[in-house]
Amino acid sequence: MGTLAAFTRKDKTDLQNKLFESALELTRHRDYVALTRNFIQLLENFPSIHTAQVFEVHGRNNVETGMIIVDDKPRDKKLVLKEVTHILNKPFPLDEFLEQYPISSDQSRELSLRIEEGLIQSTFSIYNESTLERILVLRSQPLEGRDWETILFMLRIYSNMLSVIDEKDRDRLTGLLNRYTFDNQVSHIVEYSQKQTLIDRGECKKTSWLAILDIDHFKQVNDRFGHLTGDEVLLQFVRIMEQSFRYTDILFRYGGEEFVVILNGCSREGAEAALERFRQSVESSLFPNVGQITVSIGYIQLYANNPPAILIGEADKALYHAKNTGRNRIVSYLELLENTDQQGLATITEQTALSSYQGH
């Protein structure tokens, strides 16, 4: 491979122009998935590059954020990789990947080269401080020196843009995706989840579900113990969320003590079972200074023909029915439709509005 020093003056000018154009193209994006798709497209515009993929690193200890500390090898053998631009695809084990491509401790550094089916497979790590967050995989013909320089420059720009977007898209306290991100992504998630609906053994339909989780009597926690204790409760609650749900599920902090989970690829029974396991985990946990807390949950199936605001509104009705009938329970909106007449639903809507002023 050559270096910039070996290029002619015209080569250097052409490279500088290409770097400048790539930087402009990448920095115009403020959405994580759109940024990643554009980054991949720019890479695949290189004649020598056949494919480019970006994977997130996820682990049991922090399922949603994927913040996994790596020394020479991962601490947790249950880490997985999930492709950024195909959010519902099944993850695969990171340890199998690392058997062929050992992790480097250097940021944005090429991990390894491998000849596979006549192509060179190049793997790069993308770190945030000491944390491995993402991996870039390129499959290509041999690359010239100036192409390597351009790719490494684009990778640095992409990494910097990820830091900016993560700051905007994530809740500062919990690290979960925030309401801004939910509002921007939920319509895409609904559309994509419907396209990925599966038939399990020809019998059990699997789809996606939206659940709203609300900590019971959280206002009393803040009033009695103070906001610092309230923050500790929220952090422990989020840890239970991360331990309870799967890599393909998407977790959000919707606001205050309210959280949203999108459960992907499961039946109604599977969604109910996952939410019930979570409810029991919260109920059986001891929270700092407070002791026991409970959670109320309302959920609904994601339908492609329903606007996100309608879906949230219907899940809210189920949530407030759970709160108005004893708390610490799970209610499906489908259950309300099956068991309540139109007058009853109107009453629930009135109770929802009233409860919003009375606290949870």
Residue 224: helix, strand or coil by DSSP? Answer: helix
Q: In sequence order, which residues have a C-beta less than 8 Å from that of residue 19 and are 6 or more positions away? A: 149, 150, 153, 154
Q: How far is CA 121 from the centre of its chain?
A: 27
C-beta separation of 239 from 231 below 8 A: no
Residue 79: helix, strand or coil by DSSP? Answer: coil
- Tokens for 340, please give them: 């309540």
Round to whole Å and give the CA distance between 44 and 351.
Answer: 54
Q: Rg of the chain's alpha carbons, rounded to an integer?
A: 23
Round to whole Å and give the CA distance between 360 and 218.
Answer: 7
Is 232 considered catalytic here? Answer: no
Residue 5 is given by DSSP the state G
Type of residue at 291: G
Round to whole Å and give the CA distance between 82 and 91.
Answer: 5
- Tokens for 244, please give them: 């309870």
148: buried, middle or exposed (CB in 10 Å: 19+, 13-18, 0-12)? middle
80-83/49-58 β-pairing: antiparallel
Round to whole Å and give the CA distance between 315 and 191.
Answer: 18
Choose, from 56, 64, 149, 257, the residue flagged as catalytic: 257
Strands (E), the chain: 49-58, 68-69, 80-83, 92-93, 110-116, 119-128, 131-140, 198-200, 204-215, 250-255, 258-266, 295-301, 330-332
Torsion of CA 304, 31, 298, 284, to 10 degrees: 140
Known catalytic residues are 257
